[in-house]
């Protein structure tokens, strides 16, 4: 089983921040596991500090030189981690989100940090991650700020399972990651019956919540049944939790090495849904967001 695309690179956004350097190291590990080339990219907008005023050529050239030096430094750090694979770097003129979005059209994975240095030379900022994740054509791996939580010996890949069309694409990515990392997979299905829980609080004691829970357990079991057979070497644990999806996933992934979720483009603006937004900004482990194609989104 493989969901990787030989020859297509792993692309990582780089700026001068420590978070971006951590993203580059994680991207190098992904490239090694996937036997893929690694491409380091830094965006350099012409506009001054987000305004419409274009930087004079001397100032732009100096900024370009500074960014190039950062790229060379990061490339030297991660070359060994790639394990003999190709490492290239480039400075691309344009807005950070646009540069990474365009890279997602030819990459098999885009990696970026959740925080960056900001400013003209800054590629990875919270707003950039929020803009790239819902519009990327390939999976996006977001590396959290390492000051949000300190966890020793992270393990397990956690995947969110909705029990809807589109789960297959997300599960394919999650099982592949668990298999190549040599770890187990925790499949999490979070549910809430808003209709019963909110307007009808008074009848809640009359509801057979055990039966409802059992039905949700069936939904999860059926969603992953085929994958247990396809990838028998990956141990799978099933978790069904009565909670908001984002909160349930974040809790389950507190000590995980990777959290995988899917994202459906709900409209032409491709904005973040509430679950993706909540997980993106609160997850304490690396987060992979897999785009769900329109034909399977349901």
74: exposed, middle or buried (Cβ count in 10 Å: 0-12, 13-18, 19+): buried
Instruction: Decide: 219 and 249 in contact? Cβ < 8 Å.
Output: no
Predicted local distance difference test score (pLDDT) of residue 160: 97
3-class secondary-structure state, position 242: strand
pLDDT digits (tens, 9 = 90+) for 17-33: 888 899 999 999 999 99
Cα–Cα distance measured from residue 254 to residue 268, given in angstroms and rounded to the nearest whole number: 33
Lowest mean pLDDT among 189-198, 225-234, 235-244: 189-198
Cα–Cα distance measured from residue 98 to residue 242, given in angstroms and rounded to the nearest whole number: 38
Residue limits of CATH 3.40.50.620 in the chain:
10-143, 157-297
CATH domain 157-297 topology: Rossmann fold (3.40.50)
What is the enclosing helix (H) or strand (E) of 192? none
Please count the residues of the chain. 298
DSSP one-letter string for 99-130: HHHHHTTT-SEEEEES----STT----HHHHH
Predicted local distance difference test score (pLDDT) of residue 274: 84
pLDDT digits (tens, 9 = 90+) for 237-286: 999 999 999 999 999 999 999 999 999 865 545 567 888 989 998 999 99
Q: What is the pTM of this model?
A: 0.87
**Which of residues 220 and 7 earns the better pLDDT score?**
220
Cα–Cα distance measured from residue 120 to residue 60, given in angstroms and rounded to the nearest whole number: 9
Lowest mean pLDDT among 98-107, 120-129, 130-139, 248-257: 120-129
pLDDT at 4 over 70: no
Place of tokens 């987000």: 50
pLDDT at 51 over 80: no
Predicted local distance difference test score (pLDDT) of residue 125: 43
In this prediction, residues 68-94 reach a mean pLDDT of 92
CATH superfamily of 10-143: HUPs (3.40.50.620)
Closest C-alpha among 203, 180, 189 to residue 241: 189
């Amino acid at each position: 089983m493989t969901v990787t695309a030989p020859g297509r690179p792993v692309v990582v956004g780089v700026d001068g921040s420590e978070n971006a350097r951590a993203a580059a190291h994680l991207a190098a590990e992904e490239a090694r596991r996937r036997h893929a080339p690694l491409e380091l990219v830094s965006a350099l907008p012409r506009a001054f500090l987000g305004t419409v005023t274009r930087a004079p050529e001397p100032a732009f050239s100096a900024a370009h030189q500074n960014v190039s030096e950062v790229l060379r430094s990061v490339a030297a750090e991660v070359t060994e981690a790639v394990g003999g694979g190709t490492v290239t770097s480039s400075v691309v003129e344009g807005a950070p989100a646009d540069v990474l979005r365009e890279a997602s059209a030819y990459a098999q994975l885009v990696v970026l940090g959740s925080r960056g240095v900001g400013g003209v030379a800054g590629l990875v900022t919270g707003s950039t991650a929020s803009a790239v994740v819902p519009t990327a054509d390939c999976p996006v791996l977001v590396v959290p700020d390492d000051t949000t939580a300190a966890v020793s010996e992270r393990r397990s890949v956690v995947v969110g399972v909705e029990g809807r069309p589109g789960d297959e694409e997300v599960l394919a990515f999650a099982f592949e990651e668990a298999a190549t990392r040599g770890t187990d997979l925790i499949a999490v299905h979070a549910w809430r019956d808003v209709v019963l829980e909110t307007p009808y609080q008074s009848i809640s004691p009359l509801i057979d919540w055990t039966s409802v829970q059992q039905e949700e357990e069936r939904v999860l079991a059926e969603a992953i049944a085929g994958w247990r057979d396809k990838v028998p070497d990956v141990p799978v644990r099933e978790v069904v939790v009565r909670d908001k999806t984002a909160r349930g996933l974040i809790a389950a992934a507190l000590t995980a090495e990777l959290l995988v979720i899917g994202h459906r483009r709900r409209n032409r603006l491709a904005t973040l849904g509430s679950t993706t937004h909540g997980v993106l900004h609160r997850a304490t482990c690396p987060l992979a967001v897999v785009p769900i194609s329109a034909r399977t989104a349901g």
